[in-house]
Structures are given as C-alpha cells and as structure tokens.
Structure 1
Amino acid sequence: MAEPFYMRAKRVVSAGIESALDQAERASGTSLMREAIREVDRAMDKVRREQEDATDRQNQAVGQQKLSAQRAEEWGGKILFTLEKGREDLAEAAIMQQMDFEAKIKHFKNLEASAKMDVSRLNRLLEELAARKTAMEDELAEFEKMMSENKAASDEHMTSDPGVEQKIKRAEETFDRTMDLAGGVAGSSKQAADIGKLQRNSEVEERLAALKKSMKSKSNKNK
C-alpha cells in the first residue's frame, strides 16, 4: 500500500527540520531560524505538488464514472435485446456485465470522494504552513531586534537562547497536529467474499425475473 501523502509530508518536514538543526548546531540563532523557514517553504512546495496530483486523481475518477455509466447503459440495451430473442443465458451474462460497470461507478465515486478529501486536507495544510511561516518570520524579526539591542551578549548566549529552541519546537508541534492523519483498511475474509458472490448471483436472478415480468406485462397489454 502506498504511503499516505500526509505521512510523507510529515516525514519530509520532520527530517528537514532535524537536518536543519544539525547543520546549524554551531551557527547563530538567526541562521537556525532562517533555515527552519526555508524548510517550511520546501514543505509547502511538496504539498502543492501533492495537491496537483490529488486534483488529477479527482478529475480522472469523474471521467471514469461517466465512461462506466455509458457502458452500463449499453449493456442494459443488450439485456433487453437478448431477452426479446429468447436467450436468457445471454441476458444473464449481460446483466453480470452491467453489474460490473455499476460496481466500477461506485468504485470511481469513492476514488473521487477520497481525492476530493485529499485536496481539502492539503489546502488546509498549506494554510497552516503559510500561517506558521508568517509567525516564524515575525519571530525572526523579533529575534534580530533582540540581537541588535543586546550587542554586548556573547555568541554563545545567543546560540543557547531557549527562546529559539522553543520556536522550532512549536513549529514541529504544528506540523504534528496538522498531519497526524492515519488510518487503516481491514481486509475481507474468505467468508465475506463467498457471501458477496452469493449476493451477486441473487441480484442477477432478481433482475432477470423483473425484466421478464416487465416484458410479459407489455406483451399482454399489446394483445
């Protein structure tokens, strides 16, 4: 199963921030904060690409729904034709084909809904990241102002300023809250598959009987 987009985004952002912290370990607090902001920019670029992919998936699902609906309608015509010719065996096979395309319609509707939800989540994530970036830039400006006002302070003091660490920590917490979206899908058992097959055969029989009854009723009216 492919890794969910939000888990990939979370991993990239977390790894990027950790890398930035390591690289800037001996740098000044200003460099550390600037690198964290650049990580947010990179994360936003990745999320935008994910959003474009999700939009493409949504559009493709809509197109496949229309195509499947068209094919299901075509098989509906074949069902009536074969019944009129007295070929119930072919009509039954045609019903199964129609049901396959109806199942595809439901499948692509689910894909569309999933992709639409992904687009919405990614949009919220972009808004969250944009807000986080603005806040970090404000914090950077305040930090630079503090540095300017405390020129006498040593580089060591500025590097170890607990306020810097707290700012980065808050950024990580924001990402965790935004992207901590995971779930699982349980697999179907053999018994469930057998029940589904039985239900499918039953539906084929019911549709065939209903069509035959409808055609018989029309035939009686025409007499």
Structure 2
Amino acid sequence: MSESLAARVGRIVSGGLNALVDAVEGQAPEAVMEQAIREIDSVIADARLELGGVSANLHLATRRHAEESNKLESLREKAEIAIESGRDDLATAAIEESLSIEDQVPVLAERMSDLRMQSEKIEGYIRALQSKKREMRSELKAFRTSRAAAASPGVDGAAAGVVNQAERENAAEQATSAFDRVLERQTGLSGVGATDGKRAAALDELDNLAHENRVQARLAALKAQRQG
C-alpha cells in the first residue's frame, strides 16, 4: 500500500471543516464544506482502487500457493511409486523438484499474509473516511440549520430567500478555488469535480448500509455479553 494514501487519509481524518473554512475566510463556507465532502469521496475512490489491486494480487498468490501445494503432494506420491518400482532415478528427480517447491511455498504464504494485512488496513482506512464523511455531513447540516435560524424574520421573504444566481455561482466558484489551494497545501490533494451522481448515491447507500450493519452487530454483541 502506498504511503501517500496513508498520509492523505491521516490528514483528512485528523483535520476538520472548521480549519478549512477559516482558511478560506470571506468565501462561501457552505461551498467549502461541500467541496471537502467531495474530496473525501475522491480519496475513498482511490482507496477502493488500491484495495482492488491488493485483492487481485492476493487472489493470484492464493491460487499459486494452492497449485504448488497440490504439485508437491503429487510429487511425493510419484516418488513413493518410483521407489516401489525400483526406479531411484525417478524418485530422485521427484524429490529434487519437491525440495524446490518447498523452498517457494513459505514465501508464497508470507506474501499472502502481507496482502491480507494490506487489505485489512485499506478497508480500515475506507471505514475511517466514511465516518469522517458522515461527521462532515452532520456539521454541514448543523451549519445550514444555524444559518436558517439566524435569518431575520422581519425581512421580506422573497428578498431573503432569493439570491442572484450569478453571484451564487461566482461565490461557489471562488470558494472551490480557494478550497483547492488550501486542501492541496494541507493534505497533498488536488480538487476534483463532482462525481457521477447515480454512482455516488449508490456508494453512499452501500456505505450507510455497512455502517448500520456494524452498529447492529455491536449492539447484538453487547446484549449477548450482558445476558452471559
């Protein structure tokens, strides 16, 4: 697993929206928050891509280990048959090949263990990023609620609720640009636009489902512990 991914995840998880919003003071804070959440989606996508590579390598190593183990067993059987038939020359050839495979099998086993550890670590990073994303969404929701509560009830509703679209787009564009500069300086990430809506929604639904399952599993474990 690349060190860059570990560093990026660490900086994002240890950071917070407030620091980024303060760093781009004067820009649209809501746009900054939304961009921060999109950046987490980008890193999650990178982590999943790397996890896919690790999983593929683990599959290949596991298959190779199984093949070599089966070949080793076959050679042992053939060596016994050769000895029973008085063909020590064939038995010797089988033994030599067996020794060669026996030297490789532990290396393959170690490789499999390393890849499993990498896979578990990346999966942990993805869970941490998903938790951070939920936290940021909660902060964004709280910000929107506080902003709505702070709106003056005496102001004309239409005037208070309608903002010039060009000004809104310009403010969001400036905030995104400023956010990209701050984020790249603090985390090494560069800005990425919005991801495909349907795909992002599907991944969010999967993330939420996985989180709910973890919560229910922990709850069941606590209940079982109390009953025991």
TM-score of the two chains, using structure 1 as the length reference: 0.53
The residue that corresponds to 2:28 in the other structure is: 28
CA deviations 1:166-219 (Å, max 9, x no partner) are xx99xx89xxxxxxxxxxxxxxxxxxxxxxxxxxxxxxxxxxxxxxxxxxxxxx
Matched, 1:96 2:92: no
How do 1:29-178 and structure 2 match up within 5 A? Answer: 29-80=29-80, 83=83, 84-87=86-89, 91-150=91-150
Aligned to 1:8: 4
Residue identity in the other structure for 2:5: A
Q: Is the 8 A contact 1:54 1:119 kept in 2?
A: yes
Q: Report which of the two structures shows the higher radius of gyration computed on alpha carbons.
A: 1
**Structure 1 residues without counterparts, runs of 5 or longer:** 153-167, 174-223
Q: CA 1:56 to 1:118, structure 2 compared with 1: closer, same or farther past 3 Å?
A: same
Cα deviation, 1:127-153, whole Å, max 9, x if unaligned, reads 11111101001111222233334469x
Instruction: Tell me the CA shift for residue 77 of structure 1.
Output: 3.8
**Counterpart amino acid of residue 106 in structure 2:** K
Judge which range, 51-60 or 23-32, deviates more. Answer: 23-32
Structure 2: distance between partners of 1:35 and 1:103: 52
Aligned residues: 146
CA distance in structure 2 between the aligned counterparts of 1:12 and 1:131, rounded to whole angstroms: 15
Q: Distance in 1 between matches of 2:119 and 2:36?
A: 25
SS in 2 for 1:27: coil
1:209 — aligned with what? none
**Conserved 8 A contact 1:75-1:94:** yes
1:37 to partner: Cα distance: 0.8
- Contact 1:58–1:112 (CA under 8 A) maintained in structure 2: yes
* Residues 33 and 136 in structure 1, CA contact (< 8 A), matched pair in contact too: yes
What amino acid sits opposite 1:113 in the alignment?
A: S
CA–CA separation in structure 2 for the residues paired with 1:30 and 1:74 = 66
Amino acid at match of 2:64: Q
| 1:53 partner amino acid | G
Instruction: Measure how far apart 1:91 and its partner are.
Output: 4.4
Runs (4+) of structure 1 moved beyond 6 Å? none
Query: Tell me, which stretches of 5 or more residues in structure 2 are unaligned?
Result: 153-181, 188-228
- C-alpha deviation, 1:28, in angstroms: 2.0
**RMSD over equivalenced CA pairs, Å:** 3.5
Q: 1:24 offset after TM fit, Å?
A: 5.6
Following TM superposition, by how much is the alpha carbon of 1:43 offset from its aligned partner in structure 2, in angstroms? Answer: 0.9
Output the TM-score relative to the length of structure 2: 0.52
User: Which whole-Å CA distance do the structure 2 matches of 1:130 and 1:121 have between them?
Assistant: 14
Q: Which amino acid letter does the alignment assign opposite residue 9 of structure 1?
A: L
Q: What is the one-letter code of the residue matched to 1:85? A: R
Q: Deviations over 1:106-139 (max 9, x none)?
A: 2222222222222222222221111110100111
Query: Are the counterparts in 2 of residues 24 and 31 from structure 1 also a CA contact under 8 Å?
Result: no
Bigger Cα displacement from structure 2, 90-99 vs 121-130: 90-99
Matches within 5 A, 1:141-220: 141-150=141-150
